Each structure stands twice: as C-alpha cells, then as structure tokens.
C-alpha cells in the first residue's frame, strides 16, 4: 500500500482510502488541473490577471472620468483622491487613460496570441503530415518570414494601415507571429504520422484533414496551449512597442504604448505620466508569464522548472 501511494503521483492514479480499492486513472485534463492547483505561482498569476481584467472592463463603468474628459482646474496634477493617477497637461485623467490602454492591450493580446497559435497548428501540421512539395513550399514560406523582421514589414506597411482601426494591428500581429511554433508543430507531426493510431485511421479511409483534426493536433495540444498563453505576452509586448514608436494604435485611440511614449519625455519632472502606465504593463506581463510558466510545468512535469 505504501509503494502504491508513492507511485500514484507518477502514474496519474490515486489510491482509494479503503484497502484493495483503486480509483480510476485520472484523465489528462484532470491530472493537469491537479498539478496546477498545487502551484502557488499559478494562483498568484491568475488572481492578478483576473483583477486586471476587472480593472480594465468594470472600473471604467464606475470611475467618474473618461479617457478623453478634461478637468481644466487640475491640469498637470499628481495623484489625488479625485484623479488617482494624476492628470496630463490638458487635464485628462491618467487612470482613465490607463484603463482604456489596458483594455486595448488585453483585447489585442487575447486575440492575436491564440490566432497565431491556430495558424501555426494548421500550417505546421499540414507541412509535417502531407510532406512532399507541400512540406517544401510551406517550409520555404516559414523560413522566408523568419528571415524578414516583422517590425520592419509593419513600418513599411504603416502608411497603408494608419487609417485603419486597431483590428488591422491585431491581424498583423497574428499573421507574423506563428512561424517558430509552426516549425515545432511540423517536427512533432513528422514524428506522429507513422504511429500506429495514425496508420489505422489512414487505412480506415479517414481524410488527411480528419486525421489532422482528430489525431495529430490533439496530440500536440499541450504545446499549443502553452504557446497560446505565452503568445498573449508576446502580442502585448509587440503592440506596445509598435505603438510606442508610432506605428501601432493611433490617436485618438489609446494604448499603453502611446501613453508610455507621451510620458517618456516627462518621466523625471512628472513621473506619474510614465510610471503608472508602465507599472500596469509590467504587472500584466508578469501575471500572464506566471500562468504560462505554471501551465508549462503542469503539462510537462519533466520541463525542469516544476518548483512548487
């Protein structure tokens, strides 16, 4: 009984309290959740992330100032009980603007990150499973996009997309963020395509698309979940960087990037213009990174970072 109890965490099986009765083996999602809930860093990251989401989408409903409202009696003022993060040179509330920028960053990141993972999943799986000229063509396209820095592509295309909404930026980030993961998926698919369960599905007459959807992609879902989570961080950082340099979200729309750009010149004389948007951005990236790190260790306990 003592030996079974020691082996249970390794096999995913739990032993019943009564002698001779063993519970059913845990499913993979249940096993991942069992590991996750024992990781303090997951709960810290998840709690901070939920708080920031509520702050971005609920707080503006009750806060008395909007991002474009002006207070002519409190211009260039530091944090007060009336304006929590202070005001800028024309009396706009920095807290309201930070909430608006946080909301934009969350939406862009939550769309662009998973979308890039989906593109990587289907292109990489198709290249790895079909092989031949399809593999060569898709691999050539992946290598070409990896060679050309996406930042410079967007700089060149910025005159064409400046008049468009932030959705254009979201589509761009998703379209140029999938190549590395596609290579990983391609290699994983090549190792799976000759497995017995894939051969059996092929002999039963299942189409290539059906095999990819039902057998290949579900078997690499762990990698895709981790990539989608960390892809949110990468998309938020990319959007902030592009907006900071004037190629991303354009005014009058607000993002954390253009708030940082506006406050950088006054970071010493009026630090609240820069410190508060930067602090919110750092906390957001930290929270998502904690969740992604915990998720990686829960899915792959052999990753070497399972410290909890």
Q: What is the pLDDT of residue 307?
A: 54
b/e per residue, 41-68, with b = 16+ CB within 10 A? ebbebbebbeebbebbeeebeeeebebe
pLDDT band at 296 (very low <50, low <70, confident <90, very high): confident
pLDDT band at 302 (very low <50, low <70, confident <90, very high): low
What integer is the mean pLDDT of 7-16? 42
Give the torsion sign (CA, 86, 92, 94, 99). positive
Q: What is the pLDDT of residues 174-215, one digit of tens each?
A: 888 888 899 889 888 888 888 888 888 888 888 877 888 888
Q: What is the pLDDT of residues 119-132, one digit of tens each?
A: 999 888 888 888 88
Q: What is the pLDDT of residue 145?
A: 82
Question: What single string gives the DSSP state of each residue in 146-162?
Answer: HHS-HHHHHHHHHHHHT
Q: Cβ-count burial of 101 within 10 angstroms (0-12 exposed, 13-18 middle, 19+ buried)?
A: buried
Q: What is the pLDDT of residues 59-86, one digit of tens each?
A: 999 999 989 899 888 888 889 998 999 9
Percent with pLDDT over 70 in the chain: 86
Q: What is the pLDDT of residues 139-176, one digit of tens each?
A: 888 888 888 777 777 777 766 666 567 788 888 888 88
Q: What is the pLDDT of residue 299?
A: 80
Q: What is the pLDDT of residue 220?
A: 85
Percent with pLDDT over 90 in the chain: 27
pLDDT band at 55 (very low <50, low <70, confident <90, very high): very high
Q: What is the pLDDT of residue 5?
A: 40
For residues 53 and 106, the answer to whether their CB atoms sit within 8 Å is yes
Selected from 2.40.10.10, 1.10.3720.10, 1.25.10.10, 1.10.10.60, the CATH number assigned to the domain covering 28-65+93-303 reads 1.10.3720.10
């Amino acid at each position: 009984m003592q030996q079974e109890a020691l082996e249970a965490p390794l096999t995913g099986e739990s032993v019943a309290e009564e002698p001779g009765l063993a519970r059913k083996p845990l499913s993979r999602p249940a096993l991942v959740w069992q590991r996750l809930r024992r990781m303090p860093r997951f709960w810290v990251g998840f709690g901070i992330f939920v708080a920031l989401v509520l702050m971005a989408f609920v707080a503006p409903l009750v806060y008395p100032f909007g991002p474009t409202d002006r207070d002519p009696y409190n211009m260039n003022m530091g944090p007060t009980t009336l304006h929590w993060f202070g005001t800028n040179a024309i009396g706009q509330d920095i807290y309201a603007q930070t909430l608006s920028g946080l909301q934009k960053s969350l939406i862009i990141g939550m769309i662009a990150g998973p979308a890039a993972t989906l593109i990587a999943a289907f292109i990489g799986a198709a290249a790895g499973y079909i092989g031949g000229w399809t593999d060569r063509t898709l691999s050539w396209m992946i290598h070409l996009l990896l060679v050309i820095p996406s930042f410079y592509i967007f700089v060149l295309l910025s005159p064409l997309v400046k008049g468009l909404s932030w959705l254009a930026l979201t589509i761009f980030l998703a379209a140029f963020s999938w190549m590395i993961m596609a290579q990983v998926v391609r290699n994983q698919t090549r190792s799976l395509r000759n497995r017995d369960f894939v051969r059996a599905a092929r002999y039963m007459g299942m189409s290539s698309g059906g095999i990819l959807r039902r057998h290949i992609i579900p078997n690499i879902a762990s990698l895709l979940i981790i990539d989608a989570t960390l892809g949110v961080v990468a998309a938020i950082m990319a959007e902030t960087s592009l907006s900071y340099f004037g190629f991303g979200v354009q005014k009058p729309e607000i993002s954390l990037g253009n708030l940082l750009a506006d406050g950088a010149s006054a970071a010493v004389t009026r630090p609240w213009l820069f410190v508060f948007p930067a602090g919110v951005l750092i906390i957001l990236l930290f929270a998502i990174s904690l969740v992604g790190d915990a998720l990686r260790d829960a899915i792959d306990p052999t990753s070497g970072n399972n410290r909890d």
